Chain A
Amino acid sequence: SAVISQKPSRDICQRGTSLTIQCQVDSQVTMMFWYRQQPGQSLTLIATANQGSEATYESGFVIDKFPISRPNLTFSTLTVSNMSPEDSSIYLCSVGGRLNEQFFGPGTRLTVL
């Protein structure tokens, strides 16, 4: 199984500011995924990040709001831009493993005031 770390684990931010979340994997992976989990809700996919190409965003998510970088096969960042209280969520990255099993990072708990 893949071991995934995320930074920061949690943060409290003011509206209008931006936060960059880092995701580090202990092995090289082709695809990394970013999910959002709003309070009391299940997970929603934000985008898929492939190394060397632009991220692919799901309906309802745009690059200006959630820019993603994928500089190499073990690392990715997600930025939440111009934050509002509605962005308060847990943000999780995941990777696929053997037999298409997916593994998740510990999540970043974001609160926007």
Chain B
Amino acid sequence: KQEVTQIPAALSVPEGENLVLNCSFTDSAIYNLQWFRQDPGKGLTSLLLIQSSQREQTSGRLNASLDKSSGRSTLYIAASQPGDSATYLCAVPNFGNEKLTFGTGTRLTIIP
């Protein structure tokens, strides 16, 4: 059974700093990994989808990497802003279907 873990559970950094969020998964037989953002009490916004054949995917100040063999993904946020404050979730689909297994989430606070 796939298990997805995110470290740290919470992170506070001053505005302008670069930061890295971590995601690890136990079953490396995945075909993609998705990073989401969730604001308090709201739905999920898809940030980046990285296919198993890719090592990196970039969107603006965000960069996601994937190392299937070690069961790890990172989300790098450059030049953080207060608007980046949210919970960040990673998720992987069960192989053969689209059901997602979610990580435990990292609650990020950017201090102005």
Contact = CB atoms under 8 A, between A and B. Distances in A.
A106 B98 contact: no
Interface in A66-113: 90, 92, 94, 96, 99-107, 109
Interface stretch (B11-19, B69-77, B99-107): B99-107
Interface residues of B, number: 23
Question: Interface SS of chain B: helix, strand, loop or mixed?
Answer: strand
Which of the listed residues B45, B100, B105 has the most CB atoms from chain A within 10 Å of its own CB? Answer: B100
Contacts of A94: 44, 100
Interface of B: 31-32, 34, 36, 41-46, 49, 51, 89, 91, 93, 97-100, 102-105
20 contacts: A1-B46, A33-B100, A43-B91, A43-B102, A44-B102, A45-B99, A48-B99, A90-B41, A99-B32, A100-B31, A100-B93, A101-B32, A101-B34, A102-B46, A102-B91, A102-B100, A104-B36, A104-B45, A107-B43, A109-B41
